[in-house]
Structure 1
Amino acid sequence: MSPSITRRILAGAALAAGVARPARAQSYPTRPVRLIVPFAPGGGVDAVGRILSEPLGALLGQPVVVENRAGAGGAIGVDAVAKSPPDGYAMTLVSPGNMTAGPVVRPTPYDPLTLSYISMVTRSPLLLVCRNSLAAQNLAEFVALIKRQPDAIRFASGGVGTGTHLAGELMNLRLGTNMVHVPYRGTGPALTDLIAGNVDIFFSDSSAWPMVQQGQLRLLAVSSATPWAASPQTPSVGAEVPNFDISNWYGIVSAPDTPEPIRNRLAADIAKVLARPEIQEMLGRLGFDAAPMPPVPFAAFVRNELETWRAVVQAANIRAD
């Protein structure tokens, strides 16, 4: 075979390989897609995953199957996706606890910055809720209470290193108090024990809002500096606690090196789902705001959050158990 023919064959093979990769991305998906929720059923992450899965599956033309894999503050579920093939058939809902707050408290088996970012999904403040029997009717009374009894208050979290944990530690740092941390395996179990009166307060995601409306819990404040649309009269924690302004968010990531066309396809379809009034209403009933953010700005947002929480962890000298 002449050298010129060999070159043409090799060039043709290279061209075919280059065309084949986008073709596979364009045909995605050809089988069900797994959406791993890295927390127990019953919390905000789980609720958002289930609201999103059916309409997203309809747009993709394949079912999106929700799978709960709880543990290690959400790290177990994220690690399962981090170690999956980079083909877009496994993705996970992430939050500050397993992407920005948690990883600066304890090493995770994955590097958050190497994951493939798809889209932010929701943003909302954390809700500072307390058991109904707590001897504080509002934020000012609660701050006065923990200053009088700095070691007596028990604050729940969704796990060591989660955003709900670091929010409580940030309050300790800002007020010079020593509330006792009581970690749980997710938001659902923490809320159950709070309602039962086994702990005193919890910086919950917005899944606590229906329980506040039903009179099972009392809402003392929201973590963001701006008013919360679902309860605009509720004060900000920052009204009584200096330099306190944080928010909760959920987003979707997949395995490192997931092809860009697949990530863009998923991000576009997630944005379409979140633009639907009925989806926004469902999220709103839980206290969440739809907040789609495409892959590149979402990745930049997470990098910035990592630096913010790293500074808090170092200042508070927080260590993993």
Structure 2
Amino acid sequence: MKIPRRQFLQLSMAASTLPISSRFASAQSYPTRPVHLVEGFGAGGAPDVVARLIGQSLSERLGNSFVIENRSGATGNIATEAVVRAPPDGYTLLLVSAGNAINATMFKLSFDILRDLAPVAGIVRVPLVMEVHPSIAARSVAEFIAYAKANPGKVNMASAGVGSLPHVAGEMFKAMAGVDLFHVPYRGAQVFPALLAGEAQLYFGPLLSSIGYVRAGSFRALAVTTAARSPILPDIPTLGETLPGYEASAWYGIGGPKRTPEAVIEKLNKEVNDSIADPKFQARLANLGGTPLGGSPEDFGKLISDEVKKWGRVILAANMKLQ
């Protein structure tokens, strides 16, 4: 049977637009089943708290469950690989963090976070606290730098492990301040007992876990590491006030596998931004010591790319190696 040319062209055009229409309709109804939001650092920590906050909000806004899946191990790489290898349908998402940007240089990975992840939206940025044991007499960053220069190699700088955010933040401080500090890595839960005992005298600690010790006077906060002061510690200066250009922070956002439909990403981005704009949600972030991020998928992608470059330079300059 011979089909007239005009009818053939009409059928071809209809066929070519069908996938687009189908994808649009699918995005409009998304999600039709539970969505898994994977985080790679285990239950109870700041990443888990952020994941549950945004997951609850998205569940309420989109009318379907966002299930938080804890896949700890390999400094978040197990969770990340599971997501970038998942079907790109919007039903498996990753809580992306500063750790992902650090890991891009610290590890030989079978995936590329910039190539294999589709950024959705940033959620929150949280400072670290530059804190010292009371045995260190310094009461400002400038005084600490002077003390460290007078005592090269004698100040123990604790971290939560080689390549952790506290470690790379400390290495960047060492380079910018021109000081020689002795790095002592601990397993996460061991850091604060070591600091309390005076085994280590300096720590760039996450605000959420540090604030209680600072308020109790167990440690002295000299600075926060974000570009702006923290609303929780408004009297504590930023490191950048002494070392212009210094910035380090824990940050969290959402990403999915590459080739996730653009319409799904746009829908998720809108709902994340709407969540962040909610005063109740902002108050919950403030309890973490965090400030909202938000923005477009491109904004979040630029943050990830910039952080990969920044921490890559620090890691290579310090010749950091996994032990």
Give the TM-score category using the shorter length: 0.7 to 0.9
1:111 aligns with 2:112: yes
Seen in structure 2, the aligned counterparts of structure 1 residues 251 and 134 have a Cα distance that, compared at 3 Å, is: farther
Cα offset, 1:277, TM superposition: 1.2
Deviation digits for residues 270-310 of structure 1, max 9, x if unmatched?
Answer: 11111111111111122101121210121123222222223
Residue 236 of structure 2 corresponds to residue 234 of structure 1: yes
- Could you say which residue in structure 2 is the equivalent of 1:2? 2
CA contact (8 A) 2:128 2:224 kept: yes
2:301 to 296, 299, 315: 299
Aligned residue in 1 for 2:275 = 273
Mapped partners of 2:198, 2:155: distance in 1: 12
Q: Match of 1:102?
A: 103
Structure 1 Cα separation of the partners of residues 300 and 109 of structure 2:
20
1:177 corresponds to 2:180: yes
Structure 1 residues 51-73: Cα deviation after superposition (integer angstroms, max 9, x where no partner) = 22212111111111112222222
Q: TM-score, normalization: structure 1?
A: 0.86
Distance 2:278 2:18 in 1: 39
In the alignment, does 2:202 pair up with 1:201? Answer: yes
Partner of 1:86: 88
Structure 2 match to 1:38: 40
How far residue 190 of structure 1 moved from its aligned partner, in angstroms, is: 4.3
- TM-score of the superposed pair, with normalisation by structure 2: 0.86
Checking the alignment, whether the CA contact within 8 Å between 1:165 and 1:181 is kept in structure 2 is: no
- Structure 1 range deviating more: 262-271 or 302-311: 302-311
Q: For 2:263 and 2:148, how far apart are their aligned partners in 1?
A: 52
Residue identity matched to 1:64: F
Equivalent pair of 2:159/2:183 in contact (CA under 8 Å): no
Paired residues of 1:172 and 1:179 also in contact (CA < 8 A):
no
Distance in 1, matches of 2:119 and 2:190, equals: 29
Alignment-derived partner of residue 321 in structure 2: 319
Q: CA deviation at 1:3?
A: 4.1
Q: Which amino acid aligns with 1:203?
A: F
Equivalent position amino acid for 2:109 in 1: T
Instruction: Show structure 2 runs of 5+ residues with no match.
Output: none
Aligned-residue offset at 1:86: 0.6
2:286 matched residue in structure 1: 284
Q: Using a 3 Å threshold, how does the CA distance of structure 1 residues 43 and 67 change in structure 2: closer, same or farther?
A: same
CA drift of 1:240 comes to 4.9
